[in-house]
């Protein structure tokens, strides 16, 4: 327990250890899980580079009890890490455009015992999951071709959105109708957001 009887907050590194990447990879790739590289998981998707995932999650500042949307859930690994960060009192909804990936990610989450997390097949032409909104945090794990205003509208007041845009990681904070954006240092590559 942490201060004043509050549950101790997991660090991103602890959450990543509690949701091992190899548990969310196809069998042929499990021996490469420790490599700090993106790994192809089929259907034009990848399991993101672990150091990039760690950077994104630190910037997003996910807390226990948060409601999180994970756009581009892929194998379900990042959804699982987010589930460890939100704990049993929070929830994580992953959305993935490719139905076979979404179904396998959901199976992996069930095997991991993460009842607070699920992955659904994204609705073509709809960004995010508006009917589940609002969310405290939204993570996008694919390069957006434009600013995703429709995701900002799915945030709670005070919520945060992290999205790769033009090779940069952009963190947005919603304050009422205003959105404050800042770019994180560095350049990043992702599969395109579709």
Look up residue 42 and give its DSSP letter.
E
Look up residue 138 and give its DSSP letter.
E
Catalytic residue from among 47, 48, 91, 118: 48
* Alpha helices (runs of H) in 30-187, residue ranges in sequence order: 50-60, 77-86, 99-111, 149-152
- Could you give the CA distance from residue 88 to residue 8 in angstroms, rounded to a whole number? 13
Strands 135-140, 155-165: pairing kind: parallel
The yes-or-no answer on residue 91 being catalytic is no
Look up residue 6 and give its DSSP letter.
P
Residue of 6, 15, 38 lying closest to 25 (CA atoms): 38
* Alpha helices (runs of H) in 49-159, residue ranges in sequence order: 50-60, 77-86, 99-111, 149-152
- The tokens for 194 are 């579709």
Q: Which residues are catalytic?
A: 48
């Amino acid at each position: 327990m942490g201060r004043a009887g509050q549950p101790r907050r997991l660090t991103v590194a602890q959450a990543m250890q509690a949701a091992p990447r190899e548990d969310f990879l196809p069998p042929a790739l499990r021996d490469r899980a420790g490599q700090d590289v993106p790994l192809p998981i089929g259907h034009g998707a990848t399991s993101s580079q672990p150091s990039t995932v760690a950077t994104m999650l630190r910037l997003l500042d996910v807390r226990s009890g948060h409601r999180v949307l994970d756009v581009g859930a892929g194998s379900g690994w990042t959804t699982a890490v987010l589930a460890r960060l939100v704990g049993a009192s929070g929830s994580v909804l992953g959305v993935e455009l490719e139905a076979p990936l979404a179904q396998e990610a959901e199976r992996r989450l069930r095997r991991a015992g993460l009842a607070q997390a699920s992955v659904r097949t994204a609705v073509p032409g709809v960004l995010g999951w508006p009917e589940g909104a609002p969310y405290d945090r939204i993570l996008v794990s694919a390069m957006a071709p434009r600013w995703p205003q429709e995701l900002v509208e799915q945030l709670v007041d005070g919520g945060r959105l992290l999205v790769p845009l033009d090779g940069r990681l952009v963190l947005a904070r919603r304050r009422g109708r205003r959105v404050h954006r800042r770019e994180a240092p560095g350049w990043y590559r992702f599969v395109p957001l579709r």
